[in-house]
Structure 1
Amino acid sequence: MSLVTVSLGSNVEPVRHIRLCLDALFDTFGALHISRVFESEPVGFSGGHNFYNLVVAFESDRSPSELQAWAKGVEVLYGRKPDTPRYSPRALDIDLLTVGDLCGVVEGIELPRGEITQNAFVLQPLAELLPEERHPACNTSYATLWANFSLGSQRLWPVDFTWGNAWLSRAEATTLKTSAR
């Protein structure tokens, strides 16, 4: 079993789509470690609504290609069209960040995902969720990477969020071992 991290994002009915994705993750992988939910302005394009973003960690023995196929299937199930331009509004975006300590192009997938060190909406929730875990490529803790990160024009802020009977607070990350529904 490997620790897997994924980032979730949505700016089309984000509360609904993030909840649906958390349901799918829990139903498939079981216990989830969930970061706070952050609202952020779109990065790379203008217009549209702000995004909701978070990071989820869980244990899995699936391969990177199986995890990627699962993620893309869930995106399509909840309304993402496969030909959606990279920088555009989306119902659901699930990005595979890490699979254990795998590095490089594994089964056609770049691991760890480059966005970890490029985007605040990925690094901040990851650093808060797993502060002492180390980035597989540079062997630096996520907390240290976040402490040294320059926000530039990126803006994000935590929001209160509920999923079933679970309250994902602005103040702390959450571990759910049973269904929140």
Structure 2
Amino acid sequence: MGKAYLSLGSNVLPERNLASALHALRQRFGTVAASPVYRTTAIGFDGPDFLNAAALIESDLDVHDLNDWLHALEDAHGRDRSGPRFGDRPLDIDIVFYDDLVIEGPGNLRLPRPELRHAFVLKPLVDIAPDFVDPGSGKALGELWAQSPERDVPMSVVVLTSPP
């Protein structure tokens, strides 16, 4: 079993899609530690705000099979990868950490995820695992957040009203 630290985001029917994704994670992996959900502005393009969260699961899948499973979950929620890299997304789930693996590839799989530097990824992870040590920097997530230049980026908490 490996511990996977996930970043979840959506800006297309975000409440429904995030609630559905968390439900699917619980159905497949059992207990899921989930962060609060935060509203953040789109980065890299003009679009509706995103809702972002983090989740911690214990997975019986290796990192590559988990990545494939998560892509299938995104696809089931209407994810279209044919458009621009930065755009609207019904569901985006990335593995930020898998245990202490540091890998690059195949495809876009990179651990730790470079998006860790952004508040929309880091803050939710800090909420569920402040003492986890990033194998890339050797620093605990709480320490990375304390040093983050995005620490003051406005992020309001959103309560999901869709059924889990």
**Range of TM-score over shorter length:** over 0.9
The amino acid across from 1:90 in the alignment is R
Contact 1:40/1:50 (8 A) holds in 2:
yes
Contact 2:19/2:160 (8 A) holds in 1:
no
Indicate yes or no: 2:20 matched with 1:17: no
Equivalent pairs, count: 163
Other-structure match for 1:94? 93
User: RMSD of aligned C-alpha atoms?
Assistant: 1.7
Contact 1:33/1:57 (8 A) holds in 2:
yes
Classify the secondary structure of the residue corresponding to 1:3.
Answer: strand
Classify the secondary structure of the residue corresponding to 1:57.
Answer: strand
How far apart, CA to CA, are the structure 1 residues paired with 2:148 and 2:65?
31
After TM superposition, the score normalised by the length of structure 1 is 0.84
Classify the secondary structure of the residue corresponding to 2:6.
Answer: strand
Classify the secondary structure of the residue corresponding to 2:69.
Answer: helix
Which runs of structure 2 are paired with 1:1-181 in the superposition (5 Å)? 1-46=1-46, 48-105=47-104, 109-116=109-116, 118-151=117-150, 154-162=153-161, 164=163, 181=164
Classify the secondary structure of the residue corresponding to 1:161.
Answer: coil
Classify the secondary structure of the residue corresponding to 1:9.
Answer: strand
User: Matched residues, percent identical?
Assistant: 34
The amino acid across from 1:5 in the alignment is Y
How far apart, CA to CA, are the structure 2 residues paired with 1:134 and 1:162?
33
The amino acid across from 2:80 in the alignment is K
The answer to which structure has the higher strand fraction is: 1
How far apart, CA to CA, are the structure 1 residues paired with 2:152 and 2:71?
29
After TM superposition, the score normalised by the length of structure 2 is 0.92
Contact 1:64/1:107 (8 A) holds in 2:
no
How far apart, CA to CA, are the structure 2 residues paired with 1:87 and 1:136?
27
Moved more, 62-71 or 103-112: 103-112
Contact 1:33/1:56 (8 A) holds in 2:
yes
How far apart, CA to CA, are the structure 1 residues paired with 2:9 and 2:128?
16
How far apart, CA to CA, are the structure 2 residues paired with 1:67 and 1:163?
25
